[in-house]
A and B are shown apart, each in its own frame.
Chain A
Amino acid sequence: QSVLTQPPSASGTPGQRVSVSCSGSSSNIGSNTVNWYQQLPGTAPKLLIYSNNQRPSGVPDRFSGSKSGTSASLAISGLQSEDEADYYCAAWDDSLNGYYVFGTGTKVTVL
């Protein structure tokens, strides 16, 4: 079964730009759109980016997403203390009759 690989951690100071990578394969990121979820401590995940680079209503424009080939990236510009959270990428995988796969997760720390 496929896995989407993310770095365990990332960090930055307030105001900095932080990027989180997500590596997949041809059957998931290579064939389908990527989503990103933000999970603040002790809360349920929240959709942050859908369809590679679309922000749901209410999500600040300092969050942006991109995709190239079998990899995707989430960028947080102008990092703020409230951005300290776990971030997960995700995509549909077309193998094995289809299933939804999450990334391994990245803890973003604001120094």
Chain B
Amino acid sequence: QLQLQESGPGLVKPSETLSLTCTVSAGSISSSSYYWGWIRQPPGKGLEWIGSIYYSGRTYYNPPLKSRVTVSVNTSKNQFSLKLSSVTAADTAVYYCARHRYSSGNNWFDPWGQGTLVTVSS
């Protein structure tokens, strides 16, 4: 079945840019009706949606993060990526990628990757 796997540095310095990639296997990132999203969870806290992208490149971002976030897609590699700029300690979290079922009035995330912990520290 469809699987997603996050990859990228586990440690990022303050003010730098966090970069993660999600590799999709056993399925095509170019499937219609599906976006591909990023969600994060600070240690001991709740879930926060970051943004989602369609294979055509159309994106949606969470308003509080929009100025710092870029989500991109590489259909030839079946991957999508996250860049979060000017990070601070508050961006320390487990970052998940997930398939986003998107339609008017009807949205959910399934399945999810296992998640990767990114720590922001000097």
A interface list, Cβ under 8 A from B: 1, 31-33, 35, 37, 43-47, 50-51, 56, 88, 90-92, 96-105
Q: How far is the CB of B73 from chain A (nearest CB, A)?
A: 18
Cα distance, A50 to B46, chains bound together (Å): 19
A-B CB pair tally, cutoff 8 Å: 75
Cα distance, A67 to B32, chains bound together (Å): 28
Q: Which of A32, A45, A96, A97 is in CB contact (< 8 Å) with B47?
A: A45
| Secondary structure type dominating chain B contacts | strand
Q: Which 4 A-B pairs have the closest CB atoms?
A: A47-B110, A100-B49, A102-B47, A35-B108
Q: How far is the CB of A62 from chain B (nearest CB, A)?
A: 19
Interface size on B, residues (CB 8 A): 26
6 contacts between A and B (CB under 8 A): A33-B106, A44-B96, A44-B113, A45-B39, A88-B47, A102-B39
* Complex contact B96–A100 (CB within 8 A): no
* Complex contact B46–A104 (CB within 8 A): yes
* Complex contact A102–B106 (CB within 8 A): no
Cα distance, A51 to B101, chains bound together (Å): 11
Give the nearest-CB partner of A45 in chain B: B112
> B62 in the interface, Cβ–Cβ < 8 Å?
yes
Q: Which of A46, A90, A101, A102 is in CB contact (< 8 Å) with B112?
A: A46
Q: Which of B37, B110, B112 is in CB contact (< 8 Å) with A50?
A: B110
Known: A1-B63, A92-B107. A102 touches B115 (CB 8 A): no
Q: How far is the CB of A110 from chain B (nearest CB, A)?
A: 21
Q: Which of B46, B63, B109 is in CB contact (< 8 Å) with A47?
A: B109
